[in-house]
Structure 1
């Protein structure tokens, strides 16, 4: 079973529009995100876009929330074990799988692509806090795992929030570079780059190299087993 989860059938026009936009991103990229094109894909009139979202920027914001919702659901399905290092790498592998399934959506979520006129319009709550509730829900899983890692005393004490931010940055950097074909010379970029980078991060926190290596290998085993 892979990381991607089956979406429930849309129940309202807003959901139809979001899922239509996600589909267009996967098939055609951000240039296809126009009110008329999205409406046609969703089987509704163009005015429905403006009625439910106000415009494309607001729709894009909802699509970004949809993407982080996918990540949150993937994280929620992962087992919480006595090995937080393995759990954290499992999260990174899950995000990579989601990113590879729809690279344009992933790029959009992290601000790597979108025409300037269609930049997402954040809600007032997002402008105040800096992040949407969908992002916070996904990120909370990683913070919780980092709290367990620090509490395990397997690493030197570092604020869990700092560990989470560092891991999030490392994960996103690797995935973005892989999606941009920077690692095409490697037959197994995950094993050659992503896994060793995770081990180096754990060792940098004061962890034991052999234990960190074993944890990352275990996470790979779990991920491959779940994909069968």
Structure 2
């Protein structure tokens, strides 16, 4: 999906920062390279953002806007569990296509504290300085509430359960980005899918119902199992896979 075109110099700088980050990683994101990318002097960075710290914050915000937009593009069906699973696959697809940006937007490679620190997303209605994060997280909360209303998972605090779902997919994606699960996509079927099923069953759904919902994923557009891109951030590779019993 094409991102919206940049408008003024501030928006052009944010777009350029995201492109530099995705291409060169956080080390390549500096005032000189950034200003040069739009044909301006470094003074533009300080005029519009006060320095690189302001650029980092703007990149995080815009990243969550784009991330949330991508997740909203995933069609909803009559089955909230199918929708949760489809959202998880779209989440993974987005993150693996932009591994440097994904790590940056959660403060893993950005200087200073990440945007999530100090914000209580497990309490609905909690004010936050980063509304874009709440908007993205809110989509998971919405689907969890639908699953509760449909009797698929037991009643509880939707935002708290959504936090468990987000923790699962976020942890998996970070490990896949650094190469822990290899690069052939088998991690989805051998790690992520069973993990998601176990979590849903633990939350009260029936395993056979989860399996039916998973089978329905093939009919959901944009719920593709994207291959791991060549630009993914690589880290230490694990030892041999244990033998299956």
Pairing 1:107–2:92 present: no
Partners in 2 of 1:58 and 1:168 — Cα distance? Answer: 27
Q: SS at 2:201's partner residue?
A: helix
1:134 aligned partner: 132
Corresponding residue for residue 179 of structure 1: 177
Q: Provide structure 2 residue ranges, at least 5 long, that are not aligned to the other structure.
A: 121-125, 227-245
Distance 1:39 1:180 in 2: 30
Residue among 207, 210, 235 paired with 1:209: 207
Q: State the SS of the aligned residue for 1:44.
A: coil
Q: Report the TM-score, using the length of structure 1 for normalisation.
A: 0.87
Aligned length: 219
Query: Secondary structure of the residue that 2:220 maps to in structure 1?
Result: helix
Q: Equivalent residues in 2 for 1:148-163 (5 A)?
A: 148-163=146-161
Q: 2:17 is matched with which residue?
A: 21
Q: Does the 8 Å CA contact 1:155/1:206 hold for their aligned counterparts? A: yes
**Inter-partner Cα distance in structure 1 for 2:200 and 2:186:** 21
Query: Equivalences for 1:51-200 in 2 at 5 Å?
Result: 51-116=47-112, 129-184=127-182, 187-200=185-198
Residues 109 and 217 of structure 1: is their aligned pair in 2 closer, same or farther, counting only changes over 3 Å? farther
Give the CA deviation at 1:52.
0.9
Q: How does 1:7-46 map to 2 (within 5 A)?
A: 7-46=3-42
Higher helix proportion: 1
Q: 1:48 aligns with which of 44, 63, 66?
A: 44
Instruction: Return closer, same or farther for 1:99/1:184 CA change in 2, 3 Å cut-off.
Output: same
Deviation at 1:215, TM superposition (A): 1.3
- Give the deviation of 1:149 after TM superposition: 0.8
Q: TM-score, normalised by structure 2?
A: 0.81
CA deviation after TM superposition for structure 1 residue 53, in Å: 0.9
Residues 56 and 227 of structure 1: CA distance in aligned 2, closer, same or farther (over 3 Å): same
